[in-house]
Chain A
């Protein structure tokens, strides 16, 4: 335990949450360092939101402890945890003006009246909403409402900021803008630890210092975006963090074999049955190392790239290629290749079904 050292991180100590005997979070062990952005990434029902709600104090763990800044907060009610929280649906108070919304937490925490004005202005300034203080939430667009919600959470100067799918209700264009905003806010407030729940791998890869991949109530992998992307620990992580071609291979005395083909793979080689993971954009067209050939089943032109779905011995291999001058036709035989550096071997068996 960190004991008396005041740090503003988050620590889950084998936290288990169950509803009516149904385990929705299974002994989660995870530490978010002070000032770190940790993304909880996973599909719906993976337990990521439950983990966040356990930090906020809205669900009580069946077992395990939650620590905030070294302090055990498992038994504290939400209003005594001093956490900023932003949720997908904004949850602004509709009958209050923007500035009253932002001032709400300051009044609740008995901040001196004279100080509130300045801190509301500061929070609104930080989120670019200074000009909208007199408006009501219904008079704002979705993106603006989310900025107000962030300002409201930041106004109380929390050590920990919880973001629960904050961009999911916004359209794609606004989302990338808000993503940049959040990154900027984190640069301006480097001491705030952020727990960011999302099902969107792009958000996680862009924003997070580390990503915790969750699936079916369990933590599946945790690491920096680069680690998880370049060297995923298991199939689920490989397919959820960025797209992946997963090919069953056998490992024997003659090396790694995919069907009849011998493949060169650098890096550690597990024993016996394994799965080969190659990112689609690292697959090249034409001859090269690790060549495999198959039939084109589908071609998608995506502007800057062509996506080829190639059937190789009954397995589908996806290749994202720079826009082709003369793309192959449907049903053509093509040859693909990938560099030994770009492939990772995963142990089979830890399969996500």
Chain B
């Protein structure tokens, strides 16, 4: 028993040193206003500021809207890849896997080439608006929904679809009544993962150069780097971490239900 604890010690210590310790520092800093001492002052300051409330709202609605977009687009794409036999379906599925390894800013960069001020369709100025961020996030995160859906669809017995069809169900009814109910766990798992990732997305927001779009991670960045308001940045970071952890817990519950 003691020996096992001995083995457990190095990784735990390492984890604590490189990860948990800085995190505690962030939490600690958030309770230490520049004026000195320990107080809730930074929290009341930040919560009272319009910038924070706006950033919170922007973060949440963009994340929720992106997730919804990813779910709809991902479901349609996965349906086509899995059930419409077309040459190259396997390659497309493989590409989805590769896509997951791309860095997020790459998509934004690519979008800049098309929609940016010097891009192909330069007259569109929407990339610097929240819609640009939304488009980039939906583009980037959709494969995160497609992946689990394809796994779920591969488990689906095609005999069920044929049975439904011979019973007189048209394709739309089969999708609604047979495929969708069986894809729900995968949709929930993929959706909550995308939601968490969207809430914390930094690269895409930064790269679109959307001045008016300030999300929580952007707020942390601007407070800490541009304004040197460390306590304020830490408060926002703590809020962001709490939301993420809360959603992660939700994701775990959902994915365990799904047996994934």
CA distance A83 to B165 in the complex (A): 10
CA distance A65 to B204 in the complex (A): 57
* Contact indicator B181/A104 (Cβ below 8 Å): no
CA distance A84 to B165 in the complex (A): 10
CA distance A306 to B139 in the complex (A): 73
A89 close to B (CB within 8 Å) = yes
* Contact indicator A56/B168 (Cβ below 8 Å): no
A42 close to B (CB within 8 Å) = no
Which residues in chain A, 293-346, are within 8 Å of chain B measured between CB atoms? none
Tell me the minimal C-beta distance from A96 to chain B in angstroms: 8
* Contact indicator B169/A83 (Cβ below 8 Å): no
Would you give the 0/1 interface string for B158-170, flagging 1 where the beta carbon is closer than 8 Å to chain A? 0110111111111
Subset of 19 A-B contacts with CB under 8 Å: A58-B162, A78-B166, A79-B168, A79-B170, A85-B166, A87-B162, A89-B157, A89-B159, A92-B163, A93-B177, A94-B182, A96-B181, A105-B167, A105-B168, A108-B167, A108-B170, A152-B163, A152-B167, A156-B168
CA distance A108 to B165 in the complex (A): 9
A87-B162, A94-B182 are known; give 8 further A-B pairs, CB within 8 A: A57-B166, A58-B162, A58-B165, A79-B170, A87-B163, A91-B157, A108-B169, A149-B163
B249 close to A (CB within 8 Å) = no
Given known contacts A104-B167, A156-B167, A78 and B162 CB-to-CB distance under 8 angstroms: yes
CA distance A91 to B178 in the complex (A): 11
B173 close to A (CB within 8 Å) = yes
Which residues from B are CB-within-8-Å of A113?
none
Tell me the minimal C-beta distance from B44 to chain A in angstroms: 49
Tell me the minimal C-beta distance from B155 to chain A in angstroms: 10
Contact residues of B with A, CB < 8 Å? 157, 159-160, 162-170, 173, 177-178, 181-182
CA distance A77 to B181 in the complex (A): 24
Which residues from A are CB-within-8-Å of B164?
93, 104, 108
Which residues from B are CB-within-8-Å of A89?
157, 159
Given known contacts A91-B157, A93-B178, A95-B181, A56 and B166 CB-to-CB distance under 8 angstroms: yes
Q: Which 3 A-B pairs have the closest CB atoms?
A: A105-B167, A91-B159, A108-B169
Which residues in chain A, 145-166, are within 8 Å of chain B measured between CB atoms? 149, 152-153, 156, 162
Which residues from B are CB-within-8-Å of A83?
166
* Contact indicator A91/B162 (Cβ below 8 Å): yes
Among A81, A92, A93, contact of B166 (Cβ-Cβ < 8 Å): A81
Interface residue tally on A, bucketed by range: 20 to 34
Which residues from B are CB-within-8-Å of A85?
162-163, 166
Tell me the minimal C-beta distance from A152 to chain B in angstroms: 7
A142 close to B (CB within 8 Å) = no
CA distance A91 to B166 in the complex (A): 12
* Contact indicator A104/B162 (Cβ below 8 Å): no
Would you give the 0/1 interface string for A83-114, flagging 1 where the beta carbon is closer than 8 Å to chain B? 11101010111111000000011001100000
Tell me the minimal C-beta distance from A172 to chain B in angstroms: 23
Tell me the minimal C-beta distance from A93 to chain B in angstroms: 6
CA distance A93 to B178 in the complex (A): 7
CA distance A79 to B177 in the complex (A): 15
CA distance A105 to B170 in the complex (A): 11
Among A93, A108, A162, contact of B168 (Cβ-Cβ < 8 Å): A108
Q: Which residue of chain A lies nearest to B184 when distances are taken between CB atoms in the complex?
A: A95
Which residues from B are CB-within-8-Å of A91?
157, 159-160, 162-163
* Contact indicator A79/B165 (Cβ below 8 Å): yes
Given known contacts A87-B159, A93-B160, A104-B177, A79 and B166 CB-to-CB distance under 8 angstroms: yes
A284 close to B (CB within 8 Å) = no
A143 close to B (CB within 8 Å) = no
Q: Which residue of chain B lies nearest to A80 when distances are taken between CB atoms in the complex?
A: B168
Which residues from B are CB-within-8-Å of A95?
181-182
* Contact indicator B162/A108 (Cβ below 8 Å): no
CA distance A79 to B173 in the complex (A): 11
Would you give the 0/1 interface string for A103-141, flagging 1 where the beta carbon is closer than 8 Å to chain B? 011001100000000000000000000000000000000
Tell me the minimal C-beta distance from B34 to chain A in angstroms: 57
Tell me the minimal C-beta distance from A94 to chain B in angstroms: 7
